[in-house]
Amino acid sequence: MTYGWAAVCPATQWHTLRRWASVRYSQAKQACFRRKGFHSRTGRVCTFIAKVRPMAHYLVTGGAGFIGSHLSTELVRRGHRVRVADSLITGKRSNLDHIPEVEFVQGDLADAGFARSVAQGCDYVLHQAAIPSVPRSVKDPITSNRANIDATLNMLVAARDAGARRLVFAGSSSAYGDTPTLPKHEGMPSNPLSPYALQKVVGEQYLQMFTRLYGLETVSIRYFNVFGARQDPSSPYSGVISVFATALLDNCSPKIYGDGEQTRDFTYVTNVVDGVLRACEAPAASGEVINVATGGRISLNTLFKSMRDIIGGHLEPTYVEARQGDVRDSQADISKAKALLGYEPGVSFEEGLRDTIAWYRTARAAATA
């Protein structure tokens, strides 16, 4: 439950809640819901009343994956009920070991019946489930389409029929394609260069259509090269920071596709979690597509040198041919997120990079112990 004291005063009537706190229901039942006190501004004796709101029930699809597990962790920390639905094709059950409170359900969201069952009773749906890889979608567009479009449509129908308050979708900056304009803003036309990018654009359009046709509140959050702890470096489609970290810690030369001067708006996962959870309740966000990132850009060559400086050593990267479907430069305009969500990136790239490398160093030591 959440509650806060609001003043009822003859001179001022209702005032903004002065303090909010998260408590469990058992605690809320024992709380003193009415008390006398002095109003801080008027000095008048007032009655203070505790406003009580029940904790919400969240469904996190893909919640055993990288970003989904961080969302689940923060929701549990805030006292919410969390159900995770994941096929474990790319996710790992071990990513949730530290939060046993989570209800875990394994299955395929491209199965409409499974999607309906996991949406029941949930207030919010955070649809993170996907096969999030440009190269993988180029290699196998049919499987990618099933995971990224069929499953998204199923979740929209399931959320609508279950009476969910809002569905928040994991969009992608790949929707912008290779348009030269920087930074990328949400008013720009889409220009997908890969099946994955196209699938994310279609997902966003489905969300907006469901908002218009059925009144289901939806928000699409476009991610920009998210990084952090628990990002799996073992896949050939993994994020570049996880790949660089693992290679440098193993004293191996990592590959860079192309000349390394391509730039990305690398965003620490804590910032993304903040943006997504703000999108759940921001009144003006429904039906919108919103960038969540840092608003800067860093080349892969600069990234490599920064990581090498932190880890140590004298390795140089191995340059190989650029990959099909990769965009040259990416940088987010985050003014819309600031205006609609009150979002500001709370963790800098440098701080997030140090924390991420520390996590990989610890994980590597534990694995070899």
What residue has token string 């003043």?
A: 7
> Can you tell me the distance from the alpha carbon of 346 to that of 355, in angstroms, rounded to the nearest whole number?
14
Q: Give the CATH fold of the 57-227+269-296+328-349 domain.
A: Rossmann fold (3.40.50)
What residue has token string 């004298």?
A: 314
> Can you tell me the distance from the alpha carbon of 294 to that of 348, in angstroms, rounded to the nearest whole number?
8
What residue has token string 């193993």?
A: 250
CA–CA distances in Å: residue 31 to residues 9, 50, 182, 287: 21, 9, 52, 38
**pLDDT at residue 155, as a whole number:** 98
> Which residue in the list 3, 196, 206, 268 is annotated as catalytic?
196
**pLDDT at residue 235, as a whole number:** 67
**pLDDT at residue 366, as a whole number:** 87
**pLDDT tens, the chain, 369 aa long:** 343 333 333 333 333 333 333 333 333 333 333 444 444 444 454 443 444 456 999 999 999 999 999 999 999 999 999 999 999 999 999 999 999 999 999 999 999 999 999 999 999 999 999 998 889 999 999 999 999 999 999 999 999 999 999 999 999 999 999 888 999 999 999 999 999 999 999 999 999 999 999 999 999 999 999 999 999 887 666 789 999 999 999 999 999 999 999 999 999 999 999 999 999 999 999 999 999 999 999 999 999 999 999 999 999 999 999 988 888 999 999 999 999 999 999 999 999 999 999 999 999 888 887
Which pair of structure tokens corresponds to residue 89?
A: 């094709």
Could you tell me if 170 and 66 are in contact, meaning their C-beta atoms sit under 8 angstroms apart?
A: no
206 a catalytic residue: no
Residue 74's CB is within 10 A of a number of other CB atoms, namely 17
**pLDDT at residue 92, as a whole number:** 96
Domain ranges of the chain: 2-53, 57-227+269-296+328-349
In degrees, to the nearest 5, what angle opens at C-alpha 325 toward C-alphas 64 and 107? 25
Length of the chain (residues): 369
pTM of the predicted structure, to 2 decimals:
0.85
**pLDDT at residue 54, as a whole number:** 64
Could you tell me if 158 and 115 are in contact, meaning their C-beta atoms sit under 8 angstroms apart?
A: yes
